Structure formats: C-alpha cells, structure tokens
Chain A
Amino acid sequence: DAKTTQPTSMDCAEGRAANLPCNHSTISGNEYVYWYRQIHSQGPQYIIHGLKNNETNEMASLIITEDRKSSTLILPHATLRDTAVYYCIVRAPGGTLTFGKGTMLLVSP
C-alpha cells in the first residue's frame, strides 16, 4: 500500500473549519483514500473514504485532487470533541490498513 505524509500537528479554533492535508503521491489507481481518527484511549473511528471523486457525509468532506496525489479532510465546524489524531491511509481493495503517525488536531476554545 502507498505511504502517506501528514503534518505532525495542527491547531484549529472551535467553530472554524479544520482542513487536514494528506500527501499520497505514490497512490495506485485502485487504492482508496481512507480517513480515521483516534481519540485518546479509544479505538479508531472511521470518518470517510473515496477513490477519486469528492465525498461528503455527516462527519466531514473529503477533497481528492484530480491527479489523486493528495487529499484534504475538511471538518466544517470543528468542536472541542474533534480533538484527536487523524490518520490518512491508502488501501487497495481487500488490503490491510497500515497506520502512520497521523496528525494531532487540537481544537481550542
């Protein structure tokens, strides 16, 4: 599976949009982009995934560039409960999920 690069940490003010970038320049044509987050001492929570089209659900939006070499997870109105480590993972169908170090997002009042 392709590797991803994410910033180590980011800050966001409560109520503002949090935009978390991810670089996956070696992604293959059949690999999906998945986003998970992990709140301290809990299991990872699935957020969203996509192949090449932008996706939106009740939690977030996923913007994938046309060349698919990078993506951005958008939390439209961050709350304090969104403070977590966010993982961007690329995975081929049927493949395993390999977690990197992720981005520690700190949402402040």
Chain B
Amino acid sequence: GAVVSQHPSWVICKSGTSVKIECRSLDFQATTMFWYRQFPKQSLMLMATSNEGSKATYEQGVEKDKFLINHASLTLSTLTVTSAHPEDSSFYICSARVAGDNSPLHFGNGTRLTVT
C-alpha cells in the first residue's frame, strides 16, 4: 500500500516553455503533498507543501509564480514549472502522507527535467 505515482518520469523541454508534473496517491487520500527538488550530487530540498483545496506553502527562496502548485483533489497534486530555464533542470520528487501526523511520507519515483 501507500503508493505514490509521478508522471512523467522524465521530460525534455525548450527554454521558455512550461512543464507540468503530476503526483498521484494511488491507494490513499492525501490532504497534504510535498514537492522536493534534487540537484546532482546533492540532497533533496523541500520546495513547497501542497494542501488540498488551499494555497501551497513555499519554502524560502522558491518562487511561487514560477513553480505553480495545484492540489485540486485528495489524490492529485501538480507542479508546473513556468518559463523553464536551463537552471531549472533538476530531479523533482513528490511525496504524500497517509493520514496521521506520525505516518511516514511516501515518495514518487521522481521526474527528471532537462531544459535545453
């Protein structure tokens, strides 16, 4: 149980275009999902917390107008990288938690974004 599916697994786009990444909780409902970013040889960095039906909470230094997050249902959150630039190339990973404050987060398999 507790499967998180992320799509696409990889994407290549041209500079200036936008890319949407989907994160789905397949067998549970997630009122809260989290978006992380990981650059090569670095650890995961939390970008934002996505709450179903309300605005996302962004970490310091993450531009909310560039990284649009929508959490319209209890099983789906989307991250849209707008006007992507080569420096946005990274590994984007979402996670979700089964109900309960002490429950562990379960992660998707990530999306490799390459902006050319």
Interface residues of A (CB under 8 A from B): 32, 34, 36, 38, 41-46, 49, 51, 87, 93-94, 96-102
Contact = CB atoms under 8 A, between A and B. Distances in A.
Interface SS of A by simple majority: loop
Contact of B110 (A43, A51, A96, A101): A43
Interface of B: 2, 4, 6, 34, 36, 43-46, 49, 91, 93, 95, 101-102, 104-110, 112
A45 B107 contact: yes
A42 B111 CA distance: 9
Given A44-B44, A44-B95, A97-B95, 9 more contacts: A34-B104, A42-B110, A43-B4, A43-B93, A43-B108, A46-B106, A51-B102, A87-B43, A99-B44
A93 B97 CA distance: 12
Contacts of A32: 102
Given A41-B91, A98-B46, A99-B43, A93 B102 contact: yes
Nearest to A94: B101
A44 B49 contact: no
Contacts of A94: 101
